[in-house]
């Protein structure tokens, strides 16, 4: 068997030592990992660029649509405002009390032997009811009966259009004065009627002007 | 298993390499990959948001179109009611308007005074004001007044008479004096 003499033993050992240098190996590992990281980063950057392109396209679409949407939203808000305002205004219009039909009914109730000298009416808070004070004179053989007839007629007539109608005498007193009706002297009575009622929405509609034929000019 | 015998110098070098590796990882994630992912995530979120908005915009515009058609009557009515309030201060135009109105109804010498004005409690009427007027008709008669009030109530939908006083004139028995308190809703100008 041939004898081999390794005369470069130390040099070879040093070379092996250098090859096993941990720093060198570490650097190589670091380099490999770094390369992988860069590749991963580039892949991510590519994906991000793709997303950015999509983003730009959608943003472009939105910028075209946005003014229309904004104006549509503004218009919708305006229309909703108008609708709600109209609802409230219509409610106010529908719930208001119409005096003309009331005056018409009153004029129809006043007989020839009665005379209204004063009407003072007030619509109560939030149109919940109406309160009217009617003063006048009644003449006849039984002037109190004439006043009562007016009260009954008012109750009946107003009851057809309004709810919770109350017609009550506040005052009813005989007067000493006589009045001549149809050539006969008649006794007179002064009356004060308190009328209260609430309005029925379905019937409280504006009516034509009152019929003037039965209305007589009141005396002072 | 082969035991790794490391010299002090090699251990130092290994420690240095490890530190370098940690620094590399930190720099990579903090300054490169982190911001990139963050920007990508924010873009994705914005894309989602915009896509939702674009999809919703069609609904929004359709709703507005439908509402426009449905609110046709309301807008016409609103314009008509608004047209009842001319430009300018109500005190400047309302009394003359009433004077002319009652003159057309054969009732002369009408006076209209502003009693007060206040805003409405309803939030829907934030642009409207409530004006209370006192109207005096010193020389009229029952029938003419009744007719005039009927016409007034029909022609002025935003006017409501809250108080009415009608009484005979002491000196002139053929006439009556009438005073009205009327409330009107007027657009703020």
* pLDDT tens sequence across A45-79: 999 999 999 999 999 989 998 999 899 889 999 99
Q: How confident is the model at residue A100 (pLDDT cuts 50, 70, 90)?
A: very high
8 Å CB contact of A62 and B53: yes
8 Å CB contact of B81 and A98: no
Average pLDDT, chain A: 84
| Chain A residue nearest residue B24, CA to CA | A34
Confidence check: pLDDT of A151 > 50: yes
Nearest in space to B78 (alpha carbons), one of A95, A94, A74, A82? A82
State whether residue A67 sits within 8 Å of chain B by CB: no
Number of H helices, E strands in chain B: 5, 4
pTM above 0.80, yes or no: no
Of B147, B158, B160, the CB nearest to A97: B160
Sign of the CA dihedral running B89, B95, B98, B103: negative
Q: CATH topology for A99-198?
A: Alpha-Beta Plaits (3.30.70)
Sign of the CA dihedral running A43, A46, A51, A54: negative
**CA-CA distances (angstroms) from residue B46 to A56, A73, B178, B188?**
11, 21, 70, 43
Contact A188, B115 (CB under 8 A): no
ipTM: 0.75
**pLDDT for residue A1:** 62
Percent over 90 (pLDDT), chain A:
46
Q: How confident is the model at residue A205 (pLDDT cuts 50, 70, 90)?
A: very low
Of B125, B157, B164, the CB nearest to A119: B164
DSSP A111-137: -TTEEEEEEEEEEPGGG--EEEEEEEE
8 Å CB contact of A85 and B176: no
Give the 3-state secondary structure of residue A54: helix
8 Å CB contact of B36 and A45: yes
Measured distance CA(B25)–CA(B27) in Å, rounded: 6
Q: Please, which residues 100-129 of chain A have a Cβ atom closer than 8 Å to chain B? A: 100, 103-104, 107, 116-123, 127
Cα distance from A141 to chain B (closest Cα, Å)? 24
8 Å CB contact of A69 and B170: no
CA A136 to chain CA centroid, nearest Å: 44
Contact A128, A198 (CB under 8 A): yes
Spans of chain B, pLDDT less than 70: 1-5
**pLDDT for residue A28:** 84
In this structure, of A76-85, A150-159, B15-24, the range with the lowest mean pLDDT score is B15-24
* pLDDT tens sequence across B54-105: 888 888 888 888 988 888 889 999 999 999 999 999 999 999 999 999 999 9
**At B6, phi and psi to the nearest 5?**
-110, 140
Number of inter-chain CB pairs under 8 A, A vs B: 216
Residues from chain A that touch B61, judged by Cβ atoms under 8 A, are 68-69, 72
Q: How confident is the model at residue A216 (pLDDT cuts 50, 70, 90)?
A: very low
Which sequence spans correspond to the domains of chain A?
13-95, 99-198
**pLDDT for residue A202:** 46
């Amino acid at each position: 068997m041939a004898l081999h003499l390794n005369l470069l033993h130390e040099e070879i050992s040093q070379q092996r030592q250098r090859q096993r240098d941990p720093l060198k190996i570490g650097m190589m590992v670091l380099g490999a990992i770094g390369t992988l990281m860069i590749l991963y980063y580039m892949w991510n950057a590519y994906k991000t660029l793709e997303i950015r392109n999509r983003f730009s396209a959608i943003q472009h679409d939105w910028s075209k649509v946005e003014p229309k949407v904004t104006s549509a939203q503004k218009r919708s808000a305006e229309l909703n405002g108008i609708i709600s305002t109209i609802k409230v205004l219509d409610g106010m219009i529908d719930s208001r009390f119409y005096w003309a039909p009331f005056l018409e009914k009153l004029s129809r109730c006043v007989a020839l032997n009665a005379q209204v000298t004063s009407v003072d009416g007030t619509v109560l808070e939030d149109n919940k009811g109406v309160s009217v004070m009617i003063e006048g004179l009644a003449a006849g053989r039984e002037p109190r009966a004439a006043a009562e007839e007016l009260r009954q007629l008012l109750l009946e007539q107003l009851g057809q259009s309004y709810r919770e109608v109350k017609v009550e005498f506040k005052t009813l007193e005989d007067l000493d004065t006589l009045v001549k009706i149809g050539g006969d002297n008649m006794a007179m009575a002064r009356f004060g009627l308190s009328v209260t009622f609430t309005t029925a929405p379905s019937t409280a509609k504006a009516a034509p002007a009152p019929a003037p034929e039965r209305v007589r000019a009141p005396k002072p | 298993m082969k035991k790794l015998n490391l010299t002090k110098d090699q251990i130092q070098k290994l420690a240095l390499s490890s530190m370098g590796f940690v620094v590399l990882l930190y720099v990579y994630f903090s300054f490169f990959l982190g911001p990139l992912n963050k920007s990508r995530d924010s873009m994705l979120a914005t894309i989602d948001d915009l896509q939702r908005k674009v999809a919703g915009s069609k609904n929004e515009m359709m709703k507005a179109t439908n509402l426009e058609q449905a609110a046709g009557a309301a807008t016409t009515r609103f314009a008509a009611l608004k047209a009842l309030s001319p430009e300018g201060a109500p005190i400047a135009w309302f009394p003359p308007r009433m004077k002319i109105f009652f003159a057309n109804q054969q009732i002369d010498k009408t006076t209209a005074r502003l009693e007060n004005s206040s805003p409405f409690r309803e939030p829907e009427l934030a642009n409207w004001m409530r004006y209370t007027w006192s109207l005096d008709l010193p020389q009229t008669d029952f029938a003419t007044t009744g007719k005039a009030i009927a016409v007034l109530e029909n022609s002025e939908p935003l006017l409501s008479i809250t108080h009415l006083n009608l009484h005979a004139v002491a000196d002139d028995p053929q006439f009556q004096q009438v005073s009205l308190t009327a409330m009107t809703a007027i657009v703020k100008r």
